[in-house]
Amino acid sequence: MDSLRSLALDRIDEVLISLRRIIRATDMHSKYLAKTTGLTSPQVLLLQTIRNKGQVTIGELANEMSLSAATITTILDRLEKRELVYRERSTEDKRKVHAYLTDAATEVLKTSPTPLQEQFTKQFSDLHDWEQMMIIASLQRVGQMMNAQHLDASPVLDIGTLDRQGAGAHKNEAYPTPNEE
């Protein structure tokens, strides 16, 4: 009986260690990205999305990145202050506003490291369907066990707030994490 309990505790420890490693990997990559570019992962992903889509509205960006339009607007505000993006009202439909990259943003993207999300996406896509489904099911179950199934979350791999330079909560922000030891 003690050996079964010990085995269960060992498995719990392995799960918790794996979760902690995922959190730390995300945190370390976010810090590296911030150090090398001065930008957060969501900011880099937003710049990449604008680059890849060309002329794009805030609503289209929100849909593409699975973030609220308010969150996209806040990130765009920060990027615009840094002269990395600019916005123009559509000539065909005055209700629409399009976001564009500046030359400075294009240069930043040329030298920025690959976001963790892209690395993950590539490796996940290379897995067999059954492996992908197993990972999805397992992570969804872990989320339920942590009572997190009802939390809003975007598919952006980053820790803390989506834009650390701003204050206030947004619909899709992650929980702030405690300071590292």
Spans of all domains in the chain: 19-145
pTM: 0.69
Report d(CA 69, CA 59) in Å as an integer.
Answer: 6
Taking phi over 0 as left and psi of -120 to 50 as alpha, with beta for the rest, 85 belongs to beta
Rg (C-alpha) for the chain, rounded Å, is: 19
Domain 19-145: top CATH class: mainly alpha
- Band of the pLDDT at 136, cuts 50, 70, 90? very high
Measured in residues, the chain has a length of 181
Determine the pLDDT at residue 1: 67
- Angle, in degrees to the nearest 10, between helices 2-37 and 116-125: 130
Residue at 30: amino acid letter: S
DSSP string of 97-126, one letter each residue: EEEEE-HHHHHHHHHSPPPHHHHHHHHHHT
Does the structure show a pLDDT above 90 at 126? yes
- Band of the pLDDT at 167, cuts 50, 70, 90? very low
Tens-digit pLDDT profile for residues 9-34: 788 999 999 999 998 998 898 899 88
Tens-digit pLDDT profile for residues 68-88: 889 999 999 999 999 999 999
Does the structure show a pLDDT above 70 at 43? yes
